[in-house]
Amino acid sequence: MKSVRMPVPGVSLGCDYNPEQWSPDVWREDAALMRRAGVDLVAVNIFGWSNLEPSPGEYRFDDLDEVIELMHAHGIRINLGTGTSSPPPWLTTLYPEVLPVADDGTTRFPGGRQAWCPSSPVFRDRALDLVGRVARRYGNHPAVALWHVSNELGCHNALCYCETSAAAFRSWLQGRYRKIETLNEAWGTSFWSQRYGDWSEIQVPRLALSLRNPAQLVDFQRFSSDELLGYYRAEAALLRKHSEIPVTTNFMVTAHIRNLDYWSWAPEMDIVANDHYLDHRLGDPVAELSFAADLTRGLAGGRPWMLMEQSAGAVNWQPHNLTKAPGEMIRNSLTHVARGADSICFFQWRASAQGAEKFHSALLPHAGTDTVAWREVLKLSETLDRIGEVAGTEVEADVALLFSWESWWSAEGEARPSQAVTYLDQVHSAHAALRELGVTTDVVPPDADLSRYKLVVVPGLYMISDTDAQGIADYVAAGGRLVVTYFSGIVDERDRIRLGGYPGAFRDVLGVLSEEFAPLKPGDAVTLSSDQKATLWTERLRTTTASVVATFEDGPMAGIPAITRNEHGEGIAWYIATKTDMSGILAEAAGLENTKSDKEVVRRRGTDRSYLFVINHGTTPVDHPARGEDLVSGKRVDGVLTVEAGGVAVVREEVS
């Protein structure tokens, strides 16, 4: 495995910096203030293109030169954007064919950001021309510590339905299926008279009069992810030609963006980096943060990663943009560090006075430095310095949760048993239940080596290949413990139903067979024989080799098994056929007591040292057994660590 070369030693503090929005005297004030705040790394030139190339072929690097020199003089390292994330207006005026097209066939115009088609050869040529110039100019500058390709690739433009994309989609399909007959089989085109005689007949899946072909939609997702990855590769190859500095781009492992299959992207990154914002549209945004951090660590193969963006306070793009209470931003940051981040960066340094993001928080708010927000930044900076020695250590976890973007795309097809059942809800519920039990979970792909885990959790894994399903069954047969939840194992990679009863791929390992789904209306609940309430989903399940743990007491499936347990080889596999509190089953499967807590406890371990992170999300102090030194407070801990309400502790543990 590749070792990770972080841009700055220790646990660094960083931010996006957009000097284009300010005058040179503000740059100087900023550099001095950044130093005061202990900023180690700044991302510049993220949206730089229209400044660097104000008209076609006319280049101006003096401002960027000056900013880089200024940062260098202040001992601040540069995370250098290639500048290509948003094309300048001249480009889309000269080449309107670069503009993306939505699924209704209408063009998306400039005026926002990222208005480019991922398959556009014109865009790629012009962008790579700029990247080459930036790479040659700054690729060996001593301040430049990291390349930041574009920005959040696919945030807005992942799915483009223009004719250029359609042509690229066809050649991608030819690469995947070789013969048109194989594609016809894979897409099940005998249904609704969709049989293709020639590749040229295939379209991108624009909106249709009725439901679209689900296999075509899934392939379009796969294609779109690959297309942007191809674009990333082109920029990265050019950077590597001119420079030895590590290359990355910022992922969006988050609840509202799902278009890129980051399992295929991650191996291409020198450092895995993620952007994460608390999403107050979710039931439990803080639990989702922990999930996203665990998934990012999974993408990084367990090695340290960077949090490339988060917010100091409120964002501006949710319907109701909640700020962070004092202490909250520090808890958020330390949760990322606990779960493997060695760098904590923010969008952005100085709050914008103009533009679409003028109401987005920043490290330096509109009101300046005499503010609660600024004092929090200083406190975070000091905390990160104090815990710097945890950098390079890895997170300890013996439970895995399987996650798949392909399942996310396919499980949420246009026509499905219940629109109220979503993939992410199943994933989040399982992860949150483990977290409340105090379990640290690795989030891994369905083809991961599972042998070292004591428990593997498979929430709503709708699409799975034969090979991956076999790997999971073998893991159980060899003594592993498995918990699978409803709407799992239903289809193969072609989105073709696995016949013979649900949950298709997992029937044998779970020892059950389900004849029929019976989803519940949102708001309706049923009772289980274990006295738990359950919602959203029931099914006509029977056991083959499993034993029944709980049945539905009422509702459409009264008297039918709801939770089962199957001994398979040396191991045990549970099936949960409804949405209910999973903590009892998870605790039993993991061999733990079923007790929940507000404290988040995670351990990072190096070859000769270990660090215990305890984050108190509650409103009263919590105790935790520990011995060593709390790096945050500098105090010795002799057996019992007390963490104040809303506080954080990182104990360098003494081995007894």
Cα–Cα distance between 220 and 183 in angstroms, integer? 13
Cα–Cα distance between 647 and 494 in angstroms, integer? 48
Return the number of the residue (36 or 256) whose C-beta is nearest ligand GAL. Answer: 256
Binding-site member from 53, 275, 342, 468 for ligand GAL (CB under 6 A):
275
Extract the annotated binding site: 113, 117, 151, 160, 162, 317
Q: Where are the alpha helices (H) located in 149-190, listed in sequence order?
A: 163-177, 180-187
For position 151 contacting ligand GAL by CB under 6 A, the verdict is: yes
Q: Which of 53, 152, 235, 436 is catalytic?
A: 152
Extract the annotated binding site for Zn(2+): 117, 160, 162
Radius of gyration of the chain measured on its C-alpha atoms: 26
For position 309 contacting ligand GAL by CB under 6 A, the verdict is: yes
Strands, sheet with 599-605, edge to edge from the N-terminal-most edge strand: 394-395, 599-605, 610-616, 648-653, 622-630, 636-643
For position 495 contacting ligand GAL by CB under 6 A, the verdict is: no
For position 155 contacting ligand GAL by CB under 6 A, the verdict is: yes
Q: Specify whether 152 is catalytic.
A: yes
Burial class (CB in 10 A: 0-12, 13-18, 19+), 15: buried
Provide the minimum distance between the beta carbon of 314 and ligand GAL in the complex, in angstroms, as a whole number: 10
Return the number of the residue (306 or 387) whose C-beta is nearest ligand GAL. Answer: 306
For position 345 contacting ligand GAL by CB under 6 A, the verdict is: no
Given a contact cutoff of 8 angstroms between Cβ atoms, the answer to whether 184 and 190 are in contact is yes
Cα–Cα distance between 83 and 101 in angstroms, integer? 23
Cα–Cα distance between 286 and 278 in angstroms, integer? 7
Binding-site member from 152, 436, 468, 539 for ligand GAL (CB under 6 A):
152
Cα–Cα distance between 251 and 276 in angstroms, integer? 9
Extract the annotated binding site for substrate: 113, 151, 317
Given a contact cutoff of 8 angstroms between Cβ atoms, the answer to whether 84 and 127 are in contact is yes
Provide the minimum distance between the beta carbon of 112 and ligand GAL in the complex, in angstroms, as a whole number: 11
For position 360 contacting ligand GAL by CB under 6 A, the verdict is: yes
Q: Which of 309, 376, 406, 493 is catalytic?
A: 309
For position 351 contacting ligand GAL by CB under 6 A, the verdict is: no
Tokens of 286: 């803080």
Provide the minimum distance between the beta carbon of 152 and ligand GAL in the complex, in angstroms, as a whole number: 4
For position 277 contacting ligand GAL by CB under 6 A, the verdict is: yes
Cα–Cα distance between 33 and 351 in angstroms, integer? 14
Provide the minimum distance between the beta carbon of 316 and ligand GAL in the complex, in angstroms, as a whole number: 7
**Rule CB under 6 A: which of 310-339 touch ligand GAL?**
311, 315
Q: Specify whether 309 is catalytic.
A: yes
Provide the minimum distance between the beta carbon of 357 and ligand GAL in the complex, in angstroms, as a whole number: 6
What is the enclosing helix (H) or strand (E) of 36? helix 24-37
**Residue span binding ligand GAL (CB under 6 A) among the ranges 28-36, 308-316, 462-470, 510-518:** 308-316
**In this structure, which amino acid lies at residue 138?**
Y
Cα–Cα distance between 376 and 382 in angstroms, integer? 10
Return the number of the residue (88 or 503) whose C-beta is nearest ligand GAL. Answer: 88
Per-residue DSSP letters for 575-597? EE-SBS--HHHHHHHHT------
For position 600 contacting ligand GAL by CB under 6 A, the verdict is: no
Provide the minimum distance between the beta carbon of 377 and ligand GAL in the complex, in angstroms, as a whole number: 17
Interacting residue ranges for ligand GAL, rule: CB under 6 A: 151-152, 155, 275, 277, 309, 311, 315, 347, 357, 360
Catalytic residues: 152, 309
